[in-house]
Structure 1
Amino acid sequence: MVEEIYQSTKEEREKWIEEKDYNLFNLESEKVFIDLLTDSGTGAMSDKQWAEIMTGDESYAGSRSFHQLKNTVNKITGFDYLLPTHQGRAAENVLFSALVKEGDVVPGNSHFDTTKGHIEFRKAHAIDCTIDEAFDSEIIHPFKGNIDLNKLEKVYKEYGKEKIPFTLITITCNSSGGQPVSIENIRNVRELSNQYQIPVFFDGARFAENAYFIKEREEEFKNDTIKEIVLEMFSNGDGMTMSSKKDGLVNIGGFIALNDKELYQKCGNFGIIYEGFLSYGGLAGRDLAALSQGLDEATEYSYLKSRISQVEYLGNKLIEYGIPIQQPIGGHAIFIDAVKFLPNISREEFPAQTLGIELYKEGGIRGVEIGTILADRDPETRENRYPKLELLRLAIPRRTYLQSHMDYIAACLKNLFDRRHEISSGYEITWEADILRHFTVKLKKK
C-alpha cells in the first residue's frame, strides 16, 4: 500500500527527540519521515501474499496453512520438522530453552542483541569467533561474516562438547554489517564441529540475501539458482531459527526448523508453553500462508537483485561523498562507522547513538545504534562493553522506498558529514534496563 508520510521541521524534531529521552525507539512513527530503524516486518507484501492472506485456514490444530508452510520450508531448507513462532526471538527462546543451560558457551560469528540476550539470560556466554577482517570497515573481504576456524577450535578445546550445546552461524551476519558467510566456511565449520561432536545451527533471518552473495562472489556457485544454494547451505546444519519478518517477506512470524525428531519434541513442549499449539505457534493461519508464499519469492534471484541493488545504490552514494561505511556493502542495510564519522565524540559518549540522533534532527530519518548501548554491560562486572565497531545501521525495508528516498538519505548524511567537526559532545545514560537496554534506554546530552 501507499501511505502518506509527514515531513516535519528541524525544530519540531529537536523537540520531539528530547521529549523521548533521545531514544529513537520511543518516537511515534508519524514523527519519522523515512524509517530505517529496522528491516524486520517493515516491508511490503506482494499481490500473491495478500491473496494467501484471504485464503488462510484458521483451524487451531492441523491447519491447511501450516502444512503448506511446512512443505515450503522443507523444500527450501531441507529440514523435516517445523515449529512456527510469532517472531525470531520467540524461536530463540524456544530453542534455547531446550538446549542452553547455566555455564554453557555458544560460539559463532557476531551474535545479534536478542540472541546474546537469550544466552545471557540463561547465565550462559556468547563467544564471538568472527574473522578479524570484519572489524575494519575499510578492508574489502567478500565474506566478512565468516567464522575464524582457529578461534572456534580454541573454544572447542577449552570447553568441550559438555559445555557447548551448539555453534550458531548467523547468515547474513547483522552485527558485522550485514556481511555474508561463504559455503566454504560453512562446510569447514561443520567439519570441525563434527570432530568435536558439536551441533551446528543457523540464525537464518537473512538466509536468502546470504545465498545471493554466495552466487555473486563464490565461484563454485555462480551458475546455481538461489534455491539450490540455500539447500546446500542448510545441508551443513542441524537446524535453524528464523525471523520471518526479514527474508520471509512478512510483517510478523518466525519458526524453528530441525532434522532431529527428539529435539523437535522437546522444543515442541516449550513451544506449546510459550507460543501456542504446534501447528500455529502464535500466528494466524493467514500469516502462515503469506509466509509460505514469501519464502518462495525471497529465494528468487530477480527479487534479491532488485532488493540488494537498492542498498548498494545508497552505499555507493555515501562512498562517493567520503562517508565511512562498512565495506563491502551488506545485504539489508548500510552501516556507518560512527567513530570515523564523529571523531570528536568519545566511545563513552556513544558516537553511533549521537550520529543517529543528529541524522533524525537533520532529516527525520530514523536509524539504529549498533554499538556500545546495544552491546549492553558485562553481566558480571556491569561495565560497559565496547564493541570493535561502533555503527549506525540504516536498514532498508523490502519493497518499500524509492530511489528518490535513497537520494534524500544520502543528501542528509552529506550535510552532517560536512559539518561533523561542529558536533563535539554526545550523551550519557540516565536510566537503563538490566538486559537489552537499547530498546528502552533514557539519555541526556553530555
Structure 2
Amino acid sequence: MTDMPGIMISAPSSGTGKTTVMLGLLRALAEDGLRVQPFKSGPDYIDPAFHHAASGRASFNLDSWAMGSDLLAAISAEATGADICVAEGSMGLYDGVATRGQSGFGSSAETAQRMGWPVVLVVDVSGQAQSAAATALGFQAYNPDVPFAGVILNRCASPRHERLARLGMENAGLNVLGVLPRRGDLTLPERHLGLIQAVEHPDLEAAIAGYAQFLRDHVDIAAIRAAAKGQITPLDSAKLPTPPAQRIALARDAAFSFTYPHVLKGWREAGAEILPFSPLADQAPDASADLVWLPGGYPELHGGVLASATTFQTGLRKHAETRPVHGECGGYMALGEALIDKEGTRHQMAGLLGLVTSYEKRKFHLGYRRAVLTAPLPGYGPGVALRGHEFHYSTILEQPDAALADVADADGNSVPETGSHRDHVSGTFFHFITAEENA
C-alpha cells in the first residue's frame, strides 16, 4: 500500500448539490497548484468528463459491485503522481444493491472505506435547521468503519438559518467544513439520463470557474485538504480490460459517447489503436479497422440525422460483411432496423439487426447486469461472464435475432434485454465494465 490522501464527496441522496461541490473543489485545488486525481464511485459515465474538465486529469470509475479487487487496484493506481484524490459518490452514501458483486455491494461508502478516504457529506439543509444534524449524525454512525471528515451545509437560506444549522451540527459533534448559500443559478443542465454531456455545455469553463470561486468564498478548503488521507495499491495496468481487436473504429460524438474511461485506457495500454469517427458528421468507420464499436449515448435525440447519414450507414454495412460490429445501448439501437423518437417518428437505422426500439413508449431500465455469453462478443467467447450496467428509457418493440447472453440483475433476477447477434454483428443494452476475473 502507498499513502495517497483523498476524500469522498457524498450526500444523503441524489440532488443535494454534490456535483457542484465536486467540480468547484477539483478546480480550486488545481488552481492552488495541486495535481488532483478525480474518481467517480459507481457506474456513472457522464460525470467523469466533467471531472476531467475541472481538474485537467482523466477521471475513472471505481465500482465495488462490478469490479474485482485487482481491477479496483489497477484503476486506483491512476492516482500515482497525484497530490490528492477527490472522488464523487453516486446517489446516497450507503446506496448499493442487495447482493454482493465481485467485491461488494457497490455503495460509495464501500469505496471510501476501501480507499481510506474520509467522507465529506453534502447536506441539503433547505426546509430544516438543527434537524439536519440528526441526518448527518445518522450517516456518520451507520457504519463507524467508514472514515468521516465532516459536512458541507448546502442551500442555506439566511445567516439565521446558518446559525441554527451550525448549532445542530456542533451539538452532534460534527465538523462543519463549509456553508453554501442558496443559489439557483449554479444548477447544471440536465436531460432524461441526468446531466447533459460535458461537450454539450454551452459554457462549461465559466461554470466550473464559478463553482470554484463559490467554494472559496464559503468552504474551508484548507480544512478539507488537511482531512484527506488514504492509500492506493500500485498494480500493473495489465489488469485493465484487454482490447477486443487491434484496430478499433470507435464512434465518438454527441450521439455516441458513453464508454468507461478504464476500458479505453486498457485498450490503448495493451497496444490497440482507437480510430474515432462521427456518425453525426456522416463519417464512415475506418476501412482498415478490425472492429467497429458503437458506444451508448443519445441516438434518440438525433434519429433524423442518423437516418440520413448514408456514408456512415454504407460504411458500417460494408464492414459488417466480413468483420465484427458491436453496439452498446444507443449504439445497439443504431444497429437495429428502426428507432422511434419521442414524437413517434420512425427513423430507419443501419438494419444490421432486426431490433426496433421506441423512445415514445418509454420505460425506465436501470441497474447492474451480469451477462453470461451464449454467443461470441468481440474479445470474449461463449460462457464468459461480463459485468455491466444498464441505464435507458427506450423500449424494445421487435427483436427477432438470437439472444447474445443470459442476463440477470444484481440479485440474479432474469432481465429480458439479453442483447442479440446476427452474423458479424452484436449488441447489448448494458454498458460493458469488465469480464469477471475468474473467467
Q: What TM-score comes out, normalization by structure 2 length?
A: 0.30
Query: Larger Cα Rg: Structure 1 or Structure 2?
Result: 2
Instruction: Judging by fraction of residues, say which structure has more helix.
Output: 1
Larger RCO (CA within 8 A; separation ≥ 6):
1
Q: What TM-score comes out, normalization by structure 1 length?
A: 0.29
